[in-house]
Structure 1
Amino acid sequence: MKRLLLIGFIISLATMLFGQQVIEGTVTDAKSGETLIGVTVLLKGTAEGTVTDLNGKYRLSSPLMKDSSVIVYSFVGYSPVEIIAGSQTRIDVKLASKEYNLDELVVIGYGSAKKRNVLGAVSTVKNEDLTRLPVADFTQALQGRVAGVQVTQNTGAPGEGVTVRIRGSGSINSSNDPLYIVDGIPTSNALNILPPGDIESMTILKDASAAAIYGSRANNGIVLITTKKGIKGKTKVTYSGQVGIQKVANLTKMVNTKDYITIYNEAATNDNAFLPEALQRRLITQEDAANFADVNYLKELFRPAPITSHALTFSGGNETTNYLISTTYFKQQGIIKSTDYSRGTVSINVNTEASKWLTIGLSMLAGISNNNVIGSSGDGAGGNGGSVIRYAFFRNPAIPVQFENGTYVDRPAEYFGSQIYDSFLGDGYNPIGMTAYNDNNQKRDSYLGKTYIIAKLTDKLKFTTNFGMDYSSSSSRRFSPTWGTFGRINGVNGLSISKVRSANWTENNLLNYDTKFGEDHTFSAMLGFEAVKDNAQYLDASDMNFPVQDENVIFLGNGLGIKTVSQGVQSSTLASFFGRVMYDYKQKYYISGTLRRDGTSRFIGNNKWGTFYSLSAGWEVKQEDFLKDVKWIENLKVRAGYGAVGNQNIKLYADVDNLSPNYNYPIGGTSNSGYVQTALGNPNLKWETSYQYNGGIDAELWKGALALSIDYYYKITGNMLVSAPNPPSTGYAEAAVINSNGSVLNNGIELEATYRHKKTDWSYSIGGNLTYQHNKVLKLDAPQRDGLIETGTYATLTAAGQPIGAFYLLEMDGIFQNETEILTSAIQGQSGSIHPGDVKFKDQNGDGVIDSKDRVYLGSAIPKLVMGINLSANFRQFDVTAFLQGTYGNKIYVQVNQDIEGYYRGFPVTQRYFNERWTGEGTSNTQPRASWTAKSNNALPSSRFLEDGSYLRLKNLQVGYTLSKTVLKMIGLTQARVYVSGSNLYTLTKYSGLDPEMTVSDNSKNEGDRANGIDWGTYPSSMTFMLGVDVTF
């Protein structure tokens, strides 16, 4: 019996072994023909698979293999290939690089198209580029990645957003932010919760040819975001984790206590020479300084701060249904004390083929965030705004941080016991105390959801319907406690609470038709309808004068002071009809056109509806007979397009008069409250319309080793929504009214290039992009002064003939060296107020007097060049990447230096000023003498405080190691990679401030792009070191 069983077992085993189908082959690069190492060869729907060896060869054997089985070949950076096994015993495969696969699908407006059919200026950023940087906001990862796209981080504070400009700023008073669309649903609320790791790709539509399908929302460009979806096969579990440490990258060098005493006594001596004895300052003596400290307040303000990120993803599916579930957690402590940001998200994507003709799907993203913030810039109205960084610049190093009992020192007189020390050392707030007493929290819950149905009506006709909801609920709570000497800081404490809820929905219905006539003609058409409704509610409340500063009793209603409350709602709607046609002949000649008709509630009467359109053409020159035999040219394509897109991003209800309550009317000798008209509406408002031209060339040379793309764009935004002066005689409180009477030009050149070289076990690539951009206001009824740097004083002027937000300043012409030079120069200030060592200004109009008429254009915050450089190399299982980005030709107005180097008050000065200051004839021509009385001349808004903001930054350097299949099998993993990376490692710049990038201050929030490039001493970016791991089970 045992023998029979043994014989039966052997026969069964032999049958199983010899019954397995075996397929062998080699996988090579479709362009170069070189073999590819480590290509995954998988039997679809199973866990059976293998990888190619050092010679690109593989051998796949499985008892599950049938003639109908599908084999999937996949490799990083290449488009996957699926082949039916059949009865084949050998299958050789060529994989095409994703970058150069002309049949690869590219996401476009309301659909996708083959790369060869795309005629507009379109750029795509892949997931691997988005996840290299340790950022909370995925838009930060766009920086330097795409030509024509400038990304500027607003501040380095945790949870802070970025400013994105696609092909410049086209509007003066309206928003210049692009439209973000996630899986077909427009969103603004979900941007701060969408994890970079959940994104499959981002496609940027830069010109009208690509973006006009979005009509009135396309003026500033479109960012199309495609999230990851599940794939068929057994459940795959992926974990990605990062832990790291952050530190401040650069500190402005300030004088120490010894040098401060020197500069103080020098300034006092200089001023005393021209002051009556009663007004003269007393010098600091050695006895006065006996108990002085020596504190570097900037250094004390910052700290090393941890950062961590975790993501866990489950994906899989069968022949009809696939799914992906992802959960993430991100936490970042700020490099400034008392600041941090945390976020948790959950996302679900499910897609199922209910039948051969019907597909339904669902996607959801939900997230919560918590952010502790602190003032770190100006207030946007010419004041300090509670900025701890500004006060760190202002705080004298001689003042200790704390008393012996641990309480924070405020005024120096309180510590040293005499009022004279306030005169010696100034009265700037203690920034370290400000962080300790900071109580400013922001919370947000966000949700983005979408359901869709796709019905395949015929082989050529498909109907799609989408419905999406973009929801957000945010709240902020800020308590400003009373503290400091005699309670001078926040003399009356106060609590403010704000709540905002936004619920926006979008529905669109699409009908797509695709056909081919014979072998030469390909045609596709799309018709669509879309409805959008945006709703928002807000509530603001405040209370003051809490007798006890205890968190257990600090609630609205418990204060003894003035209580305020305001509430509001707003709503807008958009209805749209649109269509697109695409045609090509022999994949050689291409033409495409779009048309959209939008109607919005933001305008009234005949201006409610607008029409937007585009027309583009392409020529695949390589397909012509005269180039077919030119071997070194792989592909050569010429593109051109023209279109008109719009902008409706103005404040709501600008077309009607606005009323405000609580206005006092004296009637019969008594005061009566009532409403007053505060803003004059303009019923003739209409769409901003941008007319755009684009021409481009795409080329692939030497079997795709070198890829080039160059575009020229020219766009004029007309009927611009601008603020026009409102005469006081009208009686309206607001000094401006919105009209449609302005225009702006943006034009430029974009270049993208990538060179790749691959060998058997190593490869490298060098890529980069460069954008030259030019901005000019063509028409504006009245110039607009912005960039408020102190009460009534502005740094920028937006006027016809110059860029938006141009710096209009006096031009410094050196330092007066002697009295003769003063007497022979234009008159500055009041008679007798100018002395040797003071700043000399150019008399631009030659009238012999220096005044506001001598202000001239001295540059702008808009860079002439924006660039990015990508370097990567692979050797067997090791990989290294480096990414650099920067700008050239932009200016920064260093407002914080205007205060500390301009002797605004008794503040310390920079070491630069100390070293370069004028101390006698011929000693300096860059920095004036030490003086408080000369600040009315030396601290005037001028080129003295305007610096070159150009920089080149090593944004990221990463080194990784991918575990071998042998090791993975031993530890039970499918794939694993570990890496170390550093961000913001080095910045090459002439700029003297903390960070040349962080100059989008609170002025910009109030005044838009008209006030960019003003540095109030803004929260800088951090240098970050990370350890990361990516594991697949």
Structure 2
Amino acid sequence: MKITLLKSFLLLGAFMCLSLAEAQTVSGTVSDANGPLPGASVVVKGTTNGTQTDFDGNYTLNDVAADAVITFSYIGFSTQEISVSGQTTIDVVLQEDANELDEVVVVGYGTQSRRTTVGAVESVKSEEFNKGVIVNPQQLIQGKTAGVQISATNGEPGSAVNVRIRGTASVRSNNNPLYVVDGVPLSGSTTSPGTQGGSSTDNNGGGDSDIGQGSSLDPLSFLNPNDIASIDILKDASATAIYGSRGANGVVLITTKSGKSGKGVLEFSSTMSVGWIGNRIDLLSRDQFLSAQNTISGGSFVDSGANTDTYETIFRTSFTQNYNLSYGGGNENGNYRISFGYQDQEGEVEDSTFDRLTARINASQRFFDGKLKLDTQATISNIESQRTPISDNPNARGDLLSAAYGFAPDQSLFEDDINAGGLGGFYQPSAERRNPLALLELTRSTSSTLRALISVGAQYNFTDNLSFKTTIGLDKSTSSGNSAQSRLFKSGPTENIGRVQLNEFDLTNTTWESYFTYNKDIGDDVLNMTLGHSYQEFTRETIFIEGANFETTDLFLMVNNIARAQDFAANTTGETDELQSFFFRSNYSLNGKFNFSGTIRIDGSSRFGVNNKYGTFGALGASWELSEEDWFPDVFDRFKFRAAYGVTGNQEGLGSNQYTQRERFGTVNAAGNPATTGIVAFQNDDLKWEENEQINVGVDFAILDNKISGSLEYYNRTTTDFLLQIQSAQPADQPFFFQNVDGDIVNKGVELSLNAAVVETEDFSWNFNFNIGYNDNMLKNYSGPDIQAGAINGPGLTGAFAQQLSNDQPLFSFYVRDWQGLDADGNNIFANNAVQSFIGESALPDVTLGITQNFNYKNWDMSLFFNGLFGQSIYSNDRNAFSTIGNLSQGRNVFASTLPFVGVENPFNPAEVSSRFLEDGSFLRLQNVTIGHNFDLSENSIFSSLRIFANAQNLFVITDYSGQDPEVSTPRTLNNVPSLGIDLTAYPRPTTISFGFNASF
């Protein structure tokens, strides 16, 4: 018995020794082409024995069998499996996987593999962003995706950017998409302080409120573009339905940069830029002006003797400086990134500036073996801006550019008798015309906006399949603005009294969203479901104070001591909107070939009455990976067919409480005049959501070993029950009321995107990206009244309009007299008995185009970016106001293009709205050129990376348009219908040259 036991122990000991002899320790380094990869996963295949690489990419694995296989993986790189085969040191260099990098896209409430998407989703990464002087995040992706039109309304620093995804689908709303930043939906409202329309302090005939005060700031201008990692665009109903009524115009998902696993990285970048107006308006010179005046007057014109160039008076060369500093890092349980940014930008028009200071933190941490994840993001931004007297609603007297264009070059800007004109030494030609230098010196408009976007989230993984996430977000902004006008500034035939307007605008957007996510692998199939709830509250409060009749002429004292005014008026407003939503989405991937998606969302809004407070929206979609089928042609590396249908809603463009009856209560203004009382809105419980129905069919493809890839899509998008503000039958207590009207706004089009690796060698590469979109817009089945739109301004143009909303016409169609030229007596000749009519032209482009070319040679790189719009028309209100002989005969300067009409056109021709001033607005612009160099650094360098670059923006434009820029558009709202494609003294876009560097430590 003892011998048997002894043999057993000897055999067990021998087995244990043999096992110990076969187990070993393996160590090494994991890196990529640029160096060590911290946080890479190293796991013995088929076991739970694994680790992650440290800050220097090193790893150590114990108890590894001699015949084991080790798996090395890292996000964005191809996974490698290596047999140990007795080795104790294994070093691995992972290769980037382009397909892996592009595989995951951000969608609403999560991410999704691009292979399984059924909707139209575009993703633009930070390395693909546009470069140069970038103020607003939308400019980063201009021209990068098919069917997405991004254009600045003007060139003023920080001014609003319009984004149109697959056309214009609403009359009342601004048609901009929903913006979501790190999962927090924004309100989309401007945070700029506004000004009150009209003046209540004018009790003695002096003063006016027509002085321009600059453009509103873009709602996204608080974000530092350098903090953005990627921007994903959801274009069709299948992709946007998860956002319900807020996704009718598309969704733009902005993901900010976060820290990466490994040791902390310090990054610093700086850019210096210079800008100028490259395409100036050609006005008559002094000699041309005098010659033209003498021709018109028969030689009796009296020369005032000066030689004034007002263009040089108001424009300048601008300078911009931009600095960014960040520090980030992390480990397997969390990451962090802190950043600071500062941008100081001068405008090309005197006295226009934009200063932005931002601070941001992103942090996340896992607890309880990764089951609980807490994350927070916070952005604090302060913007200080000075706006020039150029207004979205300018007129011949109160707009800086109008004053400059029309100022006679033989007149002096200064008055010989300092008291004669009442302008403190500035000459004023007449009561209706302003001195541009006086506008700059005797008026001011500034604003300050402090904004905080903060979110805190928690995610708990109950099992490997089921998780719950809740996020609370706060978007809070406080803006203050002031505008002042010295009493030295003459207004009309009387002395001014001096005026100050102080405005404060507080916007609070609170969001609380919670949802469950369930993921389950069922054999080769994958099921994903999301069920959630969203609540948003939007609160807006404004304070307006106006003071008039100041004795002092010091603008600073007037603004900071409004108590010196003798007359006052004030007003406050406050309103709150609420939106509550329930949503569900299910995605099913069958066998890796077929993908199905279904979404439903129920929205309830306080903007509607009890009959239609809640709306139900949803979408269905499917895709088929044809290239996975054995019978499909091998020429395709990938070919996926997609189809989707969905309905979303829209409540934008409808203000708060428009369905309720509201009354104006009696008040007395500073002049002692009682305000009007009575009902200003009637009860309408039948107001309901606009509905946007969309069909999308597309294919994604790749050929030649994925060297050429792209997508081709067709969509048909129809808006029904659209909201209009209809004019009331008079007499009535209110001039307008909101109503859903019968009619269909139809947008249908085709989009094509192509990406090609044209050349790929060890030292040189050339990549070509091309996207083009065609869109056809039409108003169909509309039985409502024809509504005039597109207000036109200028001498003799009071009440004029150039657009009309009518059935079987595109939105923003031009409705003008058809000009045929001049008769023998110089009189205008119009077709159709000089009656305004449609002439087949619209401000909407038919085609959008973007072309990007990237070249790399060793450590040098170069990129070229072109963008273009084709098929749209522009009404040059500038020419209508500043290029007729009638204006010249009244002593105003005009555009040089007027010279051929001198002595030919009758100076008494009225300034009528006609096709004479309607032009083709198509253009192709070289938007961006960048050249950069990455330095080879020694191991002892203080830098981890160092890059220098030069950039040029807006180098040239190929266009037939005679104005300064075919892309700008002045808002000319009339009858509460917005306009597009009207150019009136818009702040011009500059050409800029930039130099900078990026460094990491």
Pairwise same-fold verdict (TM > 0.5): yes
- How far the C-alpha of 1:536 sits from its partner, in A, is 1.2
Q: Is the 8 A contact 2:266 2:1000 kept in 1?
A: yes
The structural deviation recorded for 1:500 is 0.8
Q: Is the 8 A contact 1:590 1:617 kept in 2?
A: yes
* Contact residue 66 and residue 85 of structure 1 kept, 8 A: no
2:14 aligned residue: none
1:12-63 Cα deviation digits (max 9, x unpaired): xxxxxxx9955699x7xxxxxxxxxx443434489xxxxxxxxxxxxx9989
Find the aligned partners of 1:672 and 1:493 in 2 and give their Cα distance: 23
- How far apart are residue 320 of structure 1 and its match? 1.9
- The alignment partner of 1:393 has SS state of helix
Q: Secondary structure at the match of 2:238?
A: helix
| Aligned position for 2:746 | 745
Q: Deviations over 1:698-738 (max 9, x none)?
A: 11110111112111110111111112231104x22324443
Counterparts in 2 of 1:963 and 1:83: CA distance versus 1, 3 Å: farther
Q: Does 1:307 align with 2:320?
A: yes
CA distance in 2, matches of 1:688, 1:338: 42
Change (3 A) 1:477 1:627: same
Q: Is 1:325 matched with 2:338?
A: yes
Change (3 A) 1:20 1:302: farther
Out of 792, 810, 814, which is 1:789 matched to?
Answer: 792
Deviation sequence 1:534-554 (CA, Å, 0-9, x none)? 111111110101011222354
Say which of 493, 496, 502 aligns to 2:507.
502
| 8 A contact 2:29–2:57 mirrored in 1 | no
The DSSP-based 3-state class of the residue aligned with 1:625 is coil
Does the C-alpha gap of structure 1 residues 84 and 161 become closer, same or farther in structure 2, counting only changes over 3 Å?
farther
In 2 relative to 1, CA 672–452 (structure 1 residues): closer, same or farther, beyond 3 Å?
closer
Opposite residue 321 of structure 2, the aligned amino acid is T
CA distance in 1, matches of 2:58, 2:94: 21
Say if 2:680 is the partner of 1:678.
Answer: yes
Out of 604, 611, 614, the position equivalent to 1:609 is: 614
Aligned ranges for residues 510-589 of structure 1 at < 5 Å? 510-518=515-523, 520-550=524-554, 551-555=556-560, 557-589=562-594
1:522 deviates by 1.3
Q: Secondary structure at the match of 2:61?
A: coil
Q: 2:892 pairs with 896, 903, 907, which one?
A: 907
Residue aligning to 1:643: 646
CA contact (8 A) 2:268 2:1000 kept: yes
Aligned to 2:952: 982
Aligned position for 1:948: 920
Q: Matched residues in 2 for 1:671 and 1:435: separation? A: 33
Change (3 A) 1:548 1:585: same
Conserved? CA contact 2:872–2:922, under 8 Å: yes
- Contact map agreement 1:812 1:944 (CA 8 A) in 2: yes
- Aligned equivalents of 1:862, 1:62: Cα separation in 2: 55
TM-score by length of 1: 0.84
Amino acid aligned to 1:960: G
For the 8 Å contact 2:38–2:55, the answer to whether it is kept is no
Check the 8 A contact 1:796/1:1010 in 2, yes or no.
Answer: no
Greater alpha carbon shift after TM alignment, 472-481 vs 60-69: 60-69
Distance 1:537 1:1015 in 2: 32
Equivalent residue, structure 1, for 2:662: 658
Q: Which runs of 5+ in 2 are unaligned?
A: 1-24, 42-53, 65-69, 192-218
Of 804, 808, 813 in structure 2, the residue corresponding to residue 806 of structure 1 is 813
Contact kept, 8 Å, 2:40 with 2:57, in 1: the verdict is no
Provide closer, same or farther for how the CA distance between residues 870 and 72 of structure 1 changes in structure 2, counting only shifts above 3 A: farther
Aligned to 1:890: 872
Give the counterpart letter for 2:96 in structure 1: L
Q: Comparing 670-679 with 495-504, which one deviates more in the overlay?
A: 670-679
Q: Distance in 2 between matches of 1:132 and 1:612?
A: 38
Assess if the C-alpha contact under 8 Å between 1:598 and 1:609 holds in 2: yes
Q: Which letter maps to 1:66?
A: T
| 3-state SS in 2 of match to 1:401 | coil
Quick check: 1:917 aligned with 2:901?
yes
Q: After TM superposition, give the deviation of residue 947 of structure 1 in Å.
A: 0.9
Q: Residues 130 and 928 of structure 2 are in contact (CA less than 8 Å); yes or no, is this contact kept in structure 1?
A: no
Q: In the TM superposition, what whole-angstrom CA distance separates every residue of 1:80-125 from its partner, at most 9, and x where no partner exists?
A: 769899756354644211xx43872110011101110111011111
Whether 1:439 and 2:444 are equivalent positions in the alignment is yes
Give identity over the alignment, percent: 27
Structure 2: distance between partners of 1:531 and 1:255: 59
Residue range with higher mean Cα deviation, 638-647 or 349-358: 349-358
Residues 488 and 329 of structure 1: CA distance in aligned 2, closer, same or farther (over 3 Å): farther
Instruction: Look up the SS of the partner of 1:434 in the other structure.
Output: helix
Across the aligned residues of Structure 1 and Structure 2, the Cα RMSD in angstroms comes to 3.0
* Contact 2:37–2:56 (Cα < 8 Å) also in 1: no
Counterpart of 2:256 in structure 1 is 227
Distance 1:121 1:930, change over 3 A: same
String of CA shifts for 1:138-175, please: whole Å, max 9, x gaps: 11222211111111101111121211111111111233
Residues 224 and 298 of structure 1: CA distance in aligned 2, closer, same or farther (over 3 Å): same
Number of the residue aligned with 1:173: 172
Classify 1:136/1:712 alpha carbon distance in 2 versus 1 (closer, same or farther; 3 Å): same
Alignment map for 1:811-826 (pairs within 5 Å): 811-816=818-823, 818=824
Is the CA contact 1:654–1:738 (under 8 Å) kept in the aligned structure 2?
A: no
Aligned to 1:768: 770
Q: Is the partner of 2:740 in helix, strand or coil?
A: strand
* Structure 1: distance between partners of 2:454 and 2:874: 41
For 1:328, give the aligned amino acid: G
User: Cα deviation per residue 1:842-867 (whole Å; 9 max; x = unaligned)?
Assistant: 12xxxxxx243x42234111111111
Deviation at 1:317, TM superposition (A): 1.9
CA drift of 1:1002 comes to 3.6
Please tell me whether the aligned partners of residues 28 and 58 of structure 2 are also in contact (alpha carbons under 8 angstroms): no
**Paired residues of 2:622 and 2:642 also in contact (CA < 8 A):** yes
- Does the C-alpha gap of structure 1 residues 750 and 567 become closer, same or farther in structure 2, counting only changes over 3 Å? same
The alpha-carbon distance between structure 1 residues 469 and 415, as it changes in their structure 2 partners (threshold 3 A), is: closer
Q: Secondary structure at the match of 1:258?
A: helix
Say whether the 8 Å CA contact 1:414–1:485 is kept in structure 2.
Answer: no
- Contact 1:427 / 1:906 at 8 angstroms: preserved in 2? no
**C-alpha distance in structure 2 between counterparts of 1:456 and 1:806, whole Å:** 54
Q: For 1:944 and 1:584, how far apart are their aligned partners in 2? A: 58
Query: Equivalent of 2:689, from 687, 694, 706?
Result: 687
Structure-1 separation of matches of 2:80 and 2:366: 20
Question: 1:667-746, aligned counterparts within 5 Å?
Answer: 675-729=677-731, 731-746=732-747
In 1: Cα distance, 2:426 partner to 2:545 partner: 37
Between the aligned partners of 2:342 and 2:239, the Cα distance in structure 1 is: 35
2:313 partner SS: helix
Matched, 1:963 2:963: no
- Where do 5+ consecutive residues of structure 1 fail to align? 1-18, 28-37, 47-59, 270-281, 665-669, 819-835, 844-849, 920-928
Write the letter of the residue equivalent to 1:106.
Answer: V
Aligned to 2:972, the other structure's residue is in SS state helix
- Conserved in 1, the CA contact under 8 Å of 2:509 and 2:536? yes
Matched, 1:66 2:60: yes
2: CA distance, partners of 1:751 / 1:428: 50
Letter in 2 for 1:1025: I
1:120-139 matches, within 5 Å, as: 120-130=119-129, 132-139=131-138
Mark the CA change 1:663 to 1:404 in structure 2 (over 3 Å): closer, same or farther. closer
Deviation at 1:674, TM superposition (A): 6.7
Deviation of 1:255 after TM superposition, in Å, equals 1.1
Instruction: Determine the structure 2 residue equivalent to 1:352.
Output: 365
Cα shift at 1:560 = 4.6
Q: Is the 8 A contact 2:37 2:57 kept in 1?
A: no
Q: 1:10 aligns to what?
A: none
Residues 216 and 43 (structure 1 numbering): CA distance in 2 closer, same or farther, change over 3 Å?
closer
Q: Is the 8 A contact 2:397 2:403 kept in 1?
A: no
Deviation at 1:793, TM superposition (A): 1.2
2:895 maps to a residue whose letter is T
- Check whether the contact 2:535–2:580 (CA below 8 A) recurs between aligned residues: yes
Indicate which of 213, 224, 229 corresponds to 1:200.
229
